Amino acid sequence: MPGSRVGTTDMTRWWQSGTIYQVYPRSFQDSDGDGIGDLEGIRQRLGHLVALGVDAVWVSPFYPSPMADFGYDVADYCGVDPMFGTLEDFDGLIADAHGQGLKVVLDFVPNHTSERHPWFAESRAGRGSAKRDWYIWRDPASGGGPPNNWASNFGGSAWEYDEASGQYYYHAFLKEQPDLNWRNPQVRAAMNDVLRFWLERGVDGFRVDVIWHLMKDAGFRDNPDNPGFAEGQPDIARVLPVHSADQPEVFDVIAEMRATIEAYGDRVLIGEIYLPLERLVAYYGHDLSGVHLPFNFQLILSAWNARGLAELIETYERALPDGGWPNWVLGNHDQHRVASRIGAAQARVAAMLLLTLRGTPTIYYGDEIGMTDGEIAPEAVQDPWEKNEPGLGLGRDPERTPMHWTAADDAGFTTGTPWLPVGPAHEANVADQTGDPRSMLALHRRLLALRRAHEALSLGSFESVAATGDVLAYRRRRGGETFLIVLNLGHEPVAVDGLGQHRAILSTHLDREEARPAATIALRPDEGLILVP
Ligand code: NOJ
Ligand code: MG
């Protein structure tokens, strides 16, 4: 087992010690009764984030958008969609957040715009348009048809034919989301100006949407077929994205964004990247000139068992470049909720793992109360991916249902008709859990408070101790402090010996704080413990 690794410099930044909380704005809090969450709603609920003990809130897109992909199709990068409020509301939100000690991270969507963005309208106007080259236009293949075999992430060809000009444009996602041409210096300049617009308004950083997609093969070569493709997988899995993403030129683009950010001081750049580990860590960039945090989705994508987790933690720690800061994510608006993936009991163990691992944690709204995937009737489906490729379980609506604030039928989310059905709020909601010292919410508050109070947990070294049977154990150390974390990933009781005398200071069951150290650590089913010598 590789031992500890010194994880910090003396210049610790907020995004290293802090915890990020993701808000999907449509679903957090509606303030005007239209059934869709909004900026004013987020502002009203900042107190929840403060009480929870997180440090930063990342807000998914709220820019003007036709909502073909619920805001990831941006028609104006420097505005607020009326559905979500106004720029003044945004300024109010950021002022209030900062006043309460919370950082605000925006979602930057640079790979594609909406087809309704004025840039695209101009680009589409004709082959001679001044902005033609701002997007990716190609002639049909020599025998006719799309220029190559690249596939859309939401099904079908990634090329859309434009009758008027006789050319195709490229869209890695919906045809309503044409890809920008990041080889064009004017695009780069315009998009860095967008970053500055929000930096000037005080935002503390950006989560950059599909950052590994920004550059495509200059020669537009066909992608190879995927020999591992099986029926039941999404259409996009038919080919391997060898030429359509993750190109070496992307690192120049990212370094430019990073330089833009750095000019404003202590801000963070986070990259959304779904790539194998060895490619993921490349996004820290040459001499750490890349993103500060390439989102690490390993906990979402890997099997949930002690040995597998131990291995992935070790492999990740080993793969990090010198000075590269780790991070961990348990859920987001594109993935089924953790409580549905692994069950309610293990979701508590997962919370303890997330908040005691070395690296910045990201919590998805609702996971702190153990929300599960919502049930979406066929006629209630909203997600365009589910509509394009129905029945494969690809839909993302289940993890996007409204936040449960109260036990009421509307969950305290809206006075109107919610855009997605509200789940069983009486089973899990903020109001009830606030009064329950053993709730999932109480567990998150305790874990976050402990993490804040002890640098060993936020910034300390990580040392793997054991992965035997269902037990995963590791130590976190800094200065004179040591914590031992022992997690039972199984549903049977288990006893652990040989780790020395320890006493438990926090259990996932929230009913166990021991006065005296013991040599045997006895774990109940699905129990995680934080112990001290
Ligand atoms: C990743 C986002 O997280 C997802 O929700 C979106 O559909 C695609 N990028 C396209 O922007
Ligand atoms: Mg609203």
- Choose one of 334, 385, 394, 397 to mutate for the ligand 1 pocket test, by most ligand atoms within 8 angstroms of C-beta: 334
| Cα 70 to ligand 2 centroid, rounded to whole Å | 14
Q: Are 290 and 226 in contact (CB under 8 A)?
A: no
CATH topology classification for 461-532: Immunoglobulin-like (2.60.40)
Pick the CATH number of 14-112+185-216+244-447 from 2.20.25.90, 3.30.460.10, 3.40.50.300, 3.20.20.80: 3.20.20.80
Which ligand sits nearest to residue 60's alpha carbon?
A: 1
455: DSSP letter: H
| Cα 398 to ligand 1 centroid, rounded to whole Å | 15
pLDDT at 56: 98
Q: Ligand 1: which atom is nearest the Cα of residue 173?
A: 10
Q: Ligand 1: which atom is nearest the Cα of residue 154?
A: 7
Q: Ligand 1: which atom is nearest the Cα of residue 69?
A: 7
How do the domains of the chain map onto residue ranges? Answer: 14-112+185-216+244-447, 118-170, 461-532
Intervals of the chain under pLDDT 70: 1-10
Q: Ligand 1: which atom is nearest the Cα of residue 172?
A: 10
pLDDT at 131: 98
- Choose one of 73, 210, 270, 336 to mutate for the ligand 1 pocket test, by most ligand atoms within 8 angstroms of C-beta: 210
pLDDT at 466: 85
CATH topology classification for 118-170: Oligo-1,6-glucosidase; domain 2 (3.90.400)
pLDDT at 6: 41
Active site (catalytic) residues: 209, 272
Q: What region does 21 belong to: left with phi over 0, alpha with psi -120 to 50, or beta? A: beta
Token readout for 171 is: 């869209």
Name the residue with the closest Cα to ligand 1, atom 8.
72
Distance CA 493, CA 60 (A): 40
Which ligand sits nearest to residue 71's alpha carbon?
A: 1
Put simply, whether the predicted model's pTM sits higher than 0.95 gets the answer yes
On the 0-12 / 13-18 / 19+ scale of CB atoms within 10 A, 314 is: middle
- Give the pocket of ligand 1 (CB within 6 Å): 69, 72, 109, 173, 209-210, 272, 333-334
Which sign does the torsion angle of CA 479, 483, 484, 490 carry?
A: negative
* Closest alpha carbon to 261 in 13, 79, 6: 13
pLDDT at 177: 99
Name the residue with the closest Cα to ligand 1, atom 4.
334
Distance CA 405, CA 423 (A): 11
Q: Are 178 and 169 in contact (CB under 8 A)?
A: yes
Q: Are 135 and 175 in contact (CB under 8 A)?
A: no
pLDDT at 467: 80
Which ligand sits nearest to residue 245's alpha carbon?
A: 1
| Cα 400 to ligand 1 centroid, rounded to whole Å | 13
Domains 118-170 and 461-532 share a fold: no
Token readout for 529 is: 């413990």
On the 0-12 / 13-18 / 19+ scale of CB atoms within 10 A, 141 is: middle
pLDDT at 2: 34
C-beta pairs of 74-82 under 8 Å, 24+ apart in sequence:
74/109, 74/113, 74/114, 74/117, 75/113, 75/114, 75/116, 75/117, 75/118, 76/117, 76/118, 77/109, 77/191, 77/194, 77/197, 78/194, 78/197, 78/198, 80/39
Pairing of strands 293-294, 327-329: unpaired
| Cα 486 to ligand 1 centroid, rounded to whole Å | 35
